[in-house]
A and B are shown apart, each in its own frame.
Chain A
């Protein structure tokens, strides 16, 4: 393992401190328990809080700011944060209109946020994101995982909350966006959890992991390496099979890097994906390409398609000012 580390045990706090210092105009860092809030507390709106294991940066701390999150709770690497963090964050940002938690659907995250919700003295609701279509048989499992589509949920719900909507409306829009969003990823290499010191899984030079999760958990199949168009075709087929969009549907296309794949290749994937979607009669009216939901040092990428409607498009376009997403303000 070759990583920029002083002491493995200090990695998280040193990284959070760097993030907070680099974006001192946007955020405040609170330690023990760890959570990050907007620099200036927003008033008279639903407090939108997310959180999850670290190692997916800029998710979630990079999305704190005007038009998106009010606070985020970072856990240890790939490990859910704990209820004391969520309670402290809620206490800090609650502005009288309730708390909305946005939680990626993993057993640990769900349980920790659930315990926090039980202990929280404020009105609260939770949106579970589950956009990953890679898990085929979800009837008896924990269900689909929340991956890069979470960014879209956080942006759109954050915008509605900023506009002053109530908790029920924010929760309903979050659920709607989640339902209209599908993702699937592919890994070319493993990631290495710093405290473990070695790759999470072994993968050959000529292999790929189709349907990989953002923690390096295996997906659908181990397959031989192929060219980009062939890989994209499989990802797109799985996504469209799930969304079943009507011809002429308007979509947002997100090509998300897992961190170790160059932007040059991500744009190639965009090119390849866009052609396929257009061939299916879909209209790509919004796009995002980059590292938005990463998996430590994994090489690979995911494709996310969100079916837009007027409401979702409007809240996607609205002003946002965070460390990782910023437009119109």
Chain B
């Protein structure tokens, strides 16, 4: 992973989140408490503002500082979950350069596992994990099969899309939507959707790179 790519990804994700304002707000109003977009927007803005501070740093340090910043600016449940993701990624990066796709897949997998533990949640509970876990599985699987880079990125986007869509028919057992019981059926989880937007955007950006 390169610092320049991480910073470009931050800018791209910020754009993607901002242009999904209406959709994320309405999803969260339906089954949450309406603050998901605002919190993500605040987190993205804080990361963007760190650009000059981060650009000279090594990737592990960049990811660690991003995690700490998200922890202190987002709050809510998204703060610790996203922070845990980045801080775990930083920890893995620190133990050695993550550069090959297989290494990135394994680091991604470890980070999603850490999110799972922090949130005490698992697949099928109508959360961001329903997007992240299938992506982690697909990532590991395809890197083992030595899949073409472009096809792999597209497959990750599809896994994210399917995972996100799968939350629609679920009853939530974690997060604020859990209080709705069956009334949450028919609504996509806002956290699953925002995670899918983030993954889609980063994959799209990665497709424009050769390696």
Chain A interface (Cβ < 8 Å from any Cβ of B): 33, 53, 75-85, 106-108, 111-112, 114-115, 134-137, 140-142, 145, 193, 195-196, 200-201, 213, 215-219
Interface Cβ pair total, 8 Å cutoff: 107
- Stretch in B76-84, B156-164, B200-208 with 4+ CB within 8 Å of A: B76-84
Q: Which of B35, B172, B179 is most buried by chain A, counting CB atoms within 10 A of its CB?
A: B179
Rounded to whole Å, the gap between the CB of A297 and the closest CB of chain B is: 14
Using CB atoms, name the residue of chain B closest to A202. B29
Q: Which residues of A contact B34 (CB under 8 A)?
A: 78, 193, 196, 200, 216
Bound-state Cα–Cα, A200 to B35, Å: 9
Contact check, B39 vs A79: say whether CB atoms are below 8 A apart. yes
Contact check, B80 vs A141: say whether CB atoms are below 8 A apart. no
Taking chain B's interface residues, is the majority helix, strand, or loop, or is none over half, making it mixed? helix
Q: A82-B72, A193-B38 are in contact. List 4 more A-B contacts (CB 8 A).
A: A111-B119, A112-B79, A215-B33, A217-B180
Contact check, B77 vs A80: say whether CB atoms are below 8 A apart. yes
Using CB atoms, name the residue of chain B closest to A73. B75
Q: Would you call B2 an interface residue if the criterion is a C-beta within 8 Å of the partner chain's C-beta atoms?
A: no
Q: Which residues of A contact B179 (CB under 8 A)?
A: 134-135, 141, 145, 213, 217-219
B80 contact from A33, A76, A111, Cβ within 8 A: A111
Using CB atoms, name the residue of chain A closest to B83. A115
Contact check, B75 vs A81: say whether CB atoms are below 8 A apart. yes
Contact check, B175 vs A142: say whether CB atoms are below 8 A apart. yes
Q: Which residues of A contact B180 (CB under 8 A)?
A: 217-218
A33 contact from B25, B72, B79, B178, Cβ within 8 A: B72
Contact check, B76 vs A75: say whether CB atoms are below 8 A apart. yes
Q: Which residues of B contact A83 (CB under 8 A)?
A: 71-72, 80
Q: Which residues of B contact A142 (CB under 8 A)?
A: 174-175, 178
Bound-state Cα–Cα, A193 to B76, Å: 15
Q: Which residues of B contact A114 (CB under 8 A)?
A: 80
Contact check, A80 vs B76: say whether CB atoms are below 8 A apart. yes
Q: Which residues of A contact B119 (CB under 8 A)?
A: 107, 111
Complex A-B, nearest 6 residue pairs according to Cβ-Cβ distance, in ascending order: A108-B77, A141-B178, A111-B80, A108-B76, A215-B33, A79-B76
Q: Which residues of B contact A33 (CB under 8 A)?
A: 72
Q: Would you call B176 an interface residue if the criterion is a C-beta within 8 Å of the partner chain's C-beta atoms?
A: yes
Using CB atoms, name the residue of chain B closest to A218. B180
Contacts A/B (CB < 8 Å), 14 sampled: A78-B35, A80-B75, A82-B73, A83-B80, A106-B77, A107-B174, A112-B79, A134-B179, A141-B172, A193-B38, A200-B33, A215-B33, A216-B34, A217-B179
Contact check, A140 vs B173: say whether CB atoms are below 8 A apart. yes
Q: Would you call B150 an interface residue if the criterion is a C-beta within 8 Å of the partner chain's C-beta atoms?
A: no
Contact check, A82 vs B75: say whether CB atoms are below 8 A apart. yes
